[in-house]
Structure 1
């Protein structure tokens, strides 16, 4: 991954006549760097306890978080544990770093048997703890799928089917995780409750709007205020089927999660070590250091990806045409977690490929109408947009024209949810590989003034 110094001093004329793609990618890299566990963990680590320290956790940043703890923990203090991360998301281990925390890999966004085995082992590690012991729980986005332990009456296959339906339904992350909590034997605070009487400190990287720790990775160590009734309402809203026995347990309240007044959480601490807002502000500072105006809309933007793209396009067009309080040259930044409702396919139609960042970019390009001077990048900060190998995509003033010249129609690709095919063909995928962190969506729209007006 390239690095970018916020102390650079590139004249605006150079930005205007250079390649805006480079600037957009640099700002993305700044946002990612701000959220890396190696940069953010030290200030939040507790002192070693009288007894043992057991590290558990799950998420796309799990491997990097474990390495940060290993590097910072006193060499003479006991440390052991197990963390699960996504396949291929474990960073290379420095040769000098002692290997005290085991890191295993499993599937995301649909859980698999490896995640099930890891969850069972992690829950076993909480057995026999005392009040002299410390549990460090390392939580980041993606943990809901990686830490899978179905409740009684539901199989792994059931969980996989329900998870796929949730992912394609258009449900937001709060709704999806409310369901996941109530169909789990480990999420929704159950893992934290199992640690009693040990002290629990949860270090978390937020990938959710509002930074609610009970939502991040479905809050395995955080008490849950949502209810079985809430989960049932969400299942009904999106037409998602669950086994009759499980529905009966939800209706009776038998699958209720531990609540905030549960004494087993007394003394527990949650530390947010990286947030989407911090990464957006870091990118904004980098842009200002280059002489650009920078506007952060919000780190909590939700909604259909293509529709959010249209809103960003309207803001950019107004700025480019001098009808906005956003003054070019500028960048407009936003974060959050948008959704993609997968459209039914016509018979014989190939399945579309792509994620919410790519879908945002298609909606943006369509609504920009080839507006001069507007460029954009949208990417997932974990380096993976959906289940493909790209982080996101780039939009340029000639995106539509180049695509049309290659026989592509953006409306057709939107209908098929095929952002990957669209941007791969025109060479505008953003490819980073796993970044070893996750602060959710990152979007930056660059608006440059017309030639001669810089």
Structure 2
């Protein structure tokens, strides 16, 4: 495999992973017959929400009613379902107004009606409706602090549910006694429905006390209104036995594992042995870079846990504890750490991208590393170790010309990582 072929191979694996979660492909087979009788209202939130609404219209007809919220620039053309774009990962007024309208739609339903809820990653920030007594600015402050703290997605969503008037099962409770059908694309480790978009249509076993403990754990200063609400612990989220959720069903249509298996199939077809390390890997992105560097060395030196040529595939959502002032999301942090630790090990390539097409708050999906990346960076006057200390992966990979720009993919099954190891002595042309 030449240098160019190796890089193209990794791009092809990423494309296969994203295609496995395309709403236009995965939603129609999961749909029942369109409900007959009563109103059928469609709502949703997430980076894939508009594409899911488009797929639903194609399957059920374009005379539907409803509203979905997606991230700015993630819209898709729909004929009758309204698409609203809002801010992610920090909520804004557009998301709050649309979330209020979604809750009003649910509360307007009765027995014999159906609420179809389309949920995907990013829905938690987009479906932002503060609980009584809490302002949007309060939510923004807490959310920003959580994003910088190193808290994982489960911890963040526990807090978000208890700041919200619509998450943690509250949307489904508002629609009772109407039937609620939820179709979801998972972007979270373990595919827990209660974590995806903070589970607006599923019961929530977490409590105000747990949410308070998370904020204390990460030493996050609470706005006074948040402190009062958490200490009062009134109006808990609906719990598993809540009768208002009896008519609610949940259908998972795409997961990170599906994306990894699609990439593995693509690798086998190219004559490269894949190994899926896990679809729910968490922890610090830079630490994972060191771990996968070590595994790549073991493959090269000892043919373990498998012989080259092979590709190590993994998914999940790592975290970045922000220490510096640089730019870059968790995928660039992972790759920069991997590049530094590999020390230009011959025959090792890596790609890491967010399947939604945007790594954190930047404009790239991720980037790619090859055996010459470290030396090229040094020749450009860069010091990768210092860039890593400053959380500045964007500067490094932008200078190298190795940022991967896809634009919004309109789906989201979390991060995708692929480390390709070729046999020792491989000659590149």
1:152-175 per-residue CA deviation (whole Å, 9 max, x = no partner) reads 222111111111110000000000
Hey, what's the Cα distance between the residues in 2 that align with 1:212 and 1:298? Answer: 16
1:166-185 per-residue CA deviation (whole Å, 9 max, x = no partner) reads 00000000000000000011
- Asked if the contact 1:293–1:331 (Cα under 8 Å) also holds between the matched residues in 2, the reply is yes
Matched residue, 2:173 = 193
- Asked if the contact 2:176–2:247 (Cα under 8 Å) also holds between the matched residues in 1, the reply is no
Matched residue, 2:39 = 52
1:262-294 per-residue CA deviation (whole Å, 9 max, x = no partner) reads 001103110001000000000000000111100
- Asked if the contact 2:46–2:70 (Cα under 8 Å) also holds between the matched residues in 1, the reply is yes
CA gap 1:268/1:405 in 2 versus in 1, 3 angstroms: same
- Asked if the contact 1:183–1:255 (Cα under 8 Å) also holds between the matched residues in 2, the reply is no
1:436 matched to 2:410? The reply is yes
Matched residue, 1:362 = 336
Matched residue, 2:378 = 404
Unaligned runs of 5+ in 1: 1-14, 346-350
Matched residue, 2:296 = 316
Hey, what's the Cα distance between the residues in 1 that align with 2:150 and 2:108? Answer: 42
Match of 2:152 among 168, 172, 192: 172
Matched residue, 1:215 = 195
Matched residue, 1:10 = none
Hey, what's the Cα distance between the residues in 2 that align with 1:17 and 1:429? Answer: 17
1:283 matched to 2:268? The reply is no
Number of residues of Structure 1 aligned to a counterpart in Structure 2: 427
- Report the CA distance between 1:396 and its aligned residue: 0.9
Match of 1:421 among 385, 395, 401: 395
1:79 matched to 2:64? The reply is yes
Matched residue, 2:10 = 24
TM-score (norm 2): 0.97
- Residues 340-355 of structure 1 mapped to structure 2, 5 A cutoff: 340-343=320-323, 345=324, 351-355=325-329
What's the secondary structure of 1:434's corresponding residue?
coil
Matched residue, 1:446 = 420
Hey, what's the Cα distance between the residues in 2 that align with 1:193 and 1:240? Answer: 30
Hey, what's the Cα distance between the residues in 2 that align with 1:191 and 1:127? Answer: 9
- Asked if the contact 1:300–1:335 (Cα under 8 Å) also holds between the matched residues in 2, the reply is yes
Hey, what's the Cα distance between the residues in 2 that align with 1:247 and 1:88? Answer: 35
TM-score (norm 1): 0.92
- Asked if the contact 2:296–2:421 (Cα under 8 Å) also holds between the matched residues in 1, the reply is yes
Hey, what's the Cα distance between the residues in 1 that align with 2:248 and 2:103? Answer: 17
Give the CA RMSD over aligned residues. 1.4
What's the secondary structure of 1:357's corresponding residue?
helix
Unaligned runs of 5+ in 2: none
- Asked if the contact 2:347–2:426 (Cα under 8 Å) also holds between the matched residues in 1, the reply is no
Matched residue, 1:63 = 50
- Residues 64-213 of structure 1 mapped to structure 2, 5 A cutoff: 64-74=51-61, 79-91=64-76, 93=77, 99-213=79-193
Hey, what's the Cα distance between the residues in 2 that align with 1:248 and 1:63? Answer: 36
